[in-house]
């Protein structure tokens, strides 16, 4: 039934003159950013899926809101096997509320996947404009383990704890790992199943996925790639760059905020409430989502008029929230250091 529906829409598109003109423009010129206005719901998803066939690499779609992005991904599931939703933090800036741990993990998993395959990436305007760690930094944190590899469980335990994983007797939620005898279980964020690594002294014998609830194994594998639970790991060098940048942006300002207590807490505990606000300033040159896709990728803007209106709303929202944070003497960086939405 679904196949008939998809074929019907595809056939209708091919007969549409506006579609033919759009496709010719897209295929004969650089064609992006391409503004998509008019199609909605499953029709928009059908247009995107068909254009993806002619895209040389990934396709980045920017929607006005997070809800638009979620709905588009749901509609796209009718036409393509995989697409990646890059989520916003899910919180309001400067309110002192940290994002949920699952959001941290979903963002890392999404960025890893976006970096390594041709795919359709969907992001709200807020998420697409936010600053991110450089792609090279995040990819340097990948750790691939294969069957037959030499294995040092003590060393890997240190790496996992540095990456933000918590050691527990038995994994039940993402961000945990358990080491029992010659079995290491890791529940990585963004995955529906956990990973079990069975080793014999210093060699990996088995790698398989398992259900963390029933503990029953599902799929055997030849290798697994590990990654951190969040996109920035607060190592000494990251904190050093953050401190340097905070000193530079606050020096000499009338509304200077004291970041010293926050930095001291970060040096001790390696995490702070609302730490995502400081991720971009822990790098000399942060990136954006578009830096995670290749130059051959395409950029689609959905409903440009709504995007323009949404930008103005975000601009006003960020400005008001930042001014209120300063009034309350909350140590936070201004919006220009968080995203491309400048006040």
Q: What is the DSSP letter of 336?
A: G
Dist. CA 57–CA 60, nearest whole Å: 10
Per-residue pLDDT band for 29 (boundaries 50, 70, 90) equals low
Range in 77-86, 108-117, 201-210, 249-258 the model is least confident about: 249-258
**Omega of the bond prior to 33 within 30 degrees of 0, cis?**
yes
Q: What is the DSSP letter of 169?
A: S
Per-residue pLDDT band for 11 (boundaries 50, 70, 90) equals low
* Torsion angle, alpha carbons of 21, 22, 27, 32, to 10: 150
Does the structure show a pLDDT above 70 at 304? Answer: yes
DSSP 7-51: HHHHHHHHH-HHHHHHHHHHHHS---SEEE-S--HHHHHHHHHHH
Report the pLDDT value the prediction gives residue 107, as an integer from 0 to 100: 94
Q: What is the pTM of this model?
A: 0.87
Report the pLDDT value the prediction gives residue 254, as an integer from 0 to 100: 44
Dist. CA 119–CA 74, nearest whole Å: 15
Dist. CA 208–CA 250, nearest whole Å: 50
Structure confidence by residue, pLDDT tens digits, 44-95: 888 888 888 888 889 999 999 999 999 999 999 988 888 999 999 987 777 7
Tokens of 50: 């068909």
41-52 helix and 2-15 helix, angle to the nearest 10 degrees: 70
Structure confidence by residue, pLDDT tens digits, 169-188: 999 999 999 998 889 999 99
Does the structure show a pLDDT above 80 at 25? Answer: no
The answer to whether the beta carbons of residues 141 and 108 sit under 8 Å apart is no
The answer to whether the beta carbons of residues 291 and 57 sit under 8 Å apart is no
Does the structure show a pLDDT above 70 at 8? Answer: no
Q: Measuring CA to CA, how many Å separate 254 from each of 76, 199, 251, 318?
A: 50, 59, 9, 20
Q: What residues have CB less than 8 Å from 252, skipping those under 6 apart?
A: none
**pLDDT over 70 for what percent of the chain?**
91
What's the whole-number average pLDDT of the chain? 86
Q: Which residues pair with 177 in a beta bridge?
A: 167, 186
Does the structure show a pLDDT above 80 at 294? Answer: yes
- For the segment 100-116, the average pLDDT, to the nearest whole number, is 90
């Amino acid at each position: 039934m679904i196949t008939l529906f998809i074929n019907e829409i595809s056939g209708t598109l091919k007969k549409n003159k506006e579609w033919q003109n759009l496709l010719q423009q897209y295929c004969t010129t650089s064609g992006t950013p391409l503004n998509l206005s008019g199609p909605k719901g499953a029709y928009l998803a059908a247009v995107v899926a068909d254009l993806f066939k002619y895209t040389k690499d990934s396709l980045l779609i920017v929607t006005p809101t997070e809800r638009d992005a979620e709905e588009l991904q749901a509609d796209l599931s009718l036409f393509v096997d995989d697409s990646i939703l890059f989520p916003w933090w899910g919180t309001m800036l400067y309110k002192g509320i940290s994002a949920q741990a699952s959001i941290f993990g979903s963002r890392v998993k999404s960025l890893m996947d976006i970096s390594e395959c041709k795919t359709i990436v969907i992001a709200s305007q807020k998420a697409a404009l936010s600053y991110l760690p450089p792609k090279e930094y995040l990819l340097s944190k990948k750790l691939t383990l294969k069957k037959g590899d030499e294995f040092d469980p003590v060393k890997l335990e240190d790496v996992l704890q540095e990456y933000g994983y918590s050691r527990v007797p038995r994994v039940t939620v993402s961000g945990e790992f358990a080491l029992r005898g010659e079995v290491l279980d890791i529940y990585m964020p963004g995955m529906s199943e956990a990973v079990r690594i069975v080793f014999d002294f210093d060699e990996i014998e088995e790698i398989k996925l398992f259900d963390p609830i029933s503990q029953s194994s599902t799929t055997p594998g030849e290798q697994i790639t590990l990654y951190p639970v969040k996109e920035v790991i607060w190592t000494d060098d990251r904190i050093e760059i953050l401190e340097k940048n905070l000193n530079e942006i606050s020096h000499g300002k009338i509304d200077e905020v004291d970041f010293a207590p926050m930095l001291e807490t970060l040096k001790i505990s390696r995490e702070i409430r609302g730490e995502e606000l400081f991720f971009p300033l822990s790098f000399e040159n942060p990136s954006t989502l578009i830096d995670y896709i290749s130059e051959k990728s395409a950029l689609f803007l959905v409903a440009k008029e709504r995007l323009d209106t949404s930008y103005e709303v975000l601009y006003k929202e960020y400005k008001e929230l930042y001014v209120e944070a300063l009034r309350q003497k909350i140590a936070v960086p201004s919006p220009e250091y968080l995203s491309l939405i400048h006040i």
